[in-house]
Amino acid sequence: MRKEKLLKVVIILLLSIFSTSAVLAGWFSSDKAGTTGASFLKIGVGGRPIGMGETYGAVSDDVNAIYWNPAGLSQIKESQISVMHAMWLETIFYDFLAYAQPLKIGVIGGGASYLSMAEMDKLDVDSGGNLVETGETFRPYDLAVALSYGMPIGPLMVGASLKYIGQEIDDEKAMAFGVDIGTLWKKGKLALGFSVQNIGSQIKFIDESAPLPLNIRLGAAYNLPLPGIHSHLLLALDVNAPIDDDPNAHIGMEYAYKKIKDIQIAARVGLKSEAISDLDGFSGFSCGLGFIWGPVGVDYAWVPYGELGSTHRISLIVKFGKTGEVSSKRAETMPPKVEGMVVEEGERGLVIRLGSRMLFKEGESTLTPDAYPALEEVAKILKKYPKKSIIVEGYADNRGSKSFNLKLSRLRADSVANYLIKNCGIPSSQIAIKSYGEAKPIASNATSEGREKNRRVEIVILK
C-alpha cells in the first residue's frame, strides 16, 4: 500500500514538473535559439547512444544513463565504469567519465563531462582602439559534474541527478546548479522513458545571465530477440522538446550478434530530424559499432555535420563485481532436487532441461499431473529474470518419421509454455517457442537410455 501511494506521488510530481517546465520554456521554439547558456550540456555521451542517433531515453541500461535518463541506473546489476573521448569540431575535445555502483536499494552513480579547446591568444585594445595580441594565451573549458541515483518503485524505475556546471573563458568564470529527473517503465520487450534535463539556476558571465538548456525527452524502445540467428534487434525513438529549439524526433537501431560465449558484435544507425533541416550532406545521420568481450565493451560512433565536418566518439565500459544477472543468481535459483530436471549454464544462458518421461505419456503432448510440481519449480526460477527473454524448446528421439517427431516436439513445447503462462504467471511476451524434432541429440539414439535423454524440453533463459 505504501509503495502504491509513493508511486502516485512520484507520478504526480513528474507530471507537475513537466507542466511547469513547459510553461517556463515558452512552449519551445527555434525563435529562442541562442538564448541559453552552458550549451555543451546538449552534447550527448557514450558511443552506443550516439551511434543510435541519441535514442537512449527508454534504453539507458548502462552507466551512460547518468546523462540520458537517471532512472535507467536501476537496471544495472554490477559495478560499471565508463570513459569516453570525442574528437569534436575543429580543435574541440569532449570527454566523459562515469561510475555506477549497485546498492542494497537502487544504484548510485557519478559522472563528469569536460569540454576543452586549443589554447587561444589573449587580445587587448591599444590606445587607437585596435585589437592586439598580448603574447599570452588561455584555454577555455566547460565542466559538468553529476551525482545520480536510480531505484525501482512498483512497476516504474525513477531517478535523479544533481549537477554542478562550471565554465571558464580567460579570467571570467561562471557556475550554476542543475537537476535531471527521469522515469522508465518496462514490460517484456517494450520500454518507455521520460526525463527532464537541466532544470536549474541561470548561469552568469560578467553581467549577463542565461538559463540552462532545459530539455524534455520522451523515449520508446522495443527489443526483439532473434534466437534463431543468435541476435537481437533494438529499435528506439526519442522525441525532444528543448527550451531553445523546435521539438524534434530521433530514431535509432542496434543489431547485435552473439554466438560465441562472452563475445558480442553490434552495428548501429540513427537519424535526427533537427540536423537534417539545419545542415547538409549526411547531417542528421549517425552510425557506430560495438564490441563486447566478457566484462569489457568498446563502442565507436561517427556523426557528420555537413560542411562543419564530422565528429568521432570512442567509449569504453568495464563491468566488474557481479559477473551478470544469470550467472550471479545461479546459486539462488537452483531448485530443490527434482528427478529428471537438470539446471546448468550454457553458452546461451541458464538452461533448464526436463525429461519427457516426467512431463508426458509416451507419444503424447498433454502434460501429466506429475509434470505440474516440476513446472512450478521452473516458474520460480523464471520469475527471478523478469527482463530476460526465454525460449521453450522441444526435442525428440529418432523413432518415427522426421515430420512426426518435429510436430510432437512442437506440441510438447507448446504445452510447457502454455502451462507456464496460464498457470504460473510468466508473461507470454517473455517466451518464444521452438521445436527441433530429432535434430540436436545430446546422446546416442542407438540405446534406449540415449533416446530417453533426447526426448526432452529445454527452457533457456537467454543472457
Residue-range domains of the chain with CATH: 2-320 (2.40.160.60), 325-462 (3.30.1330.60)
Return the pLDDT at 73.
96
Altogether, the residues listed in the chain come to a count of 463
Return the pLDDT at 27.
52
Residue 63 and residue 54: Cα distance in Å, rounded? 15
pLDDT tens, N- to C-terminus, the chain (463 residues): 454 555 555 555 555 445 444 444 445 555 666 678 888 999 999 999 999 999 999 999 999 999 999 999 999 988 999 999 998 877 889 999 999 999 989 999 999 999 988 777 676 766 777 776 777 777 888 999 999 999 999 889 999 999 999 998 877 889 999 999 999 998 878 999 999 999 999 988 777 888 999 999 999 999 988 877 888 899 999 999 999 888 999 999 999 998 777 789 999 999 988 655 555 556 788 999 999 998 999 999 999 887 778 899 999 999 987 544 444 444 344 444 566 688 888 778 889 999 888 888 888 888 888 888 889 889 888 988 888 899 999 999 998 899 998 999 999 999 999 999 988 888 888 999 999 999 989 888 888 888 888 899 999 999 7
Return the pLDDT at 5.
55
Residue 69 and residue 150: Cα distance in Å, rounded? 9
pTM: 0.66
Angle between helices 402-422 and 371-382 (to 10 degrees): 70
Q: Is the Cβ–Cβ distance between 238 and 55 less than 8 Å?
A: yes
Residue 258 and residue 230: Cα distance in Å, rounded? 5
Give residues with Cβ within 8 angstroms of 194, minimum separation 6.
14, 18, 57, 69, 182, 183, 184, 217, 218, 219
Beta-bridged to residue 137, according to DSSP, are 121
Return the pLDDT at 392.
94
Beta-sheet strand order (sheet of 431-437): 341-345, 349-355, 456-462, 390-395, 431-437
Residue 38 and residue 48: Cα distance in Å, rounded? 24
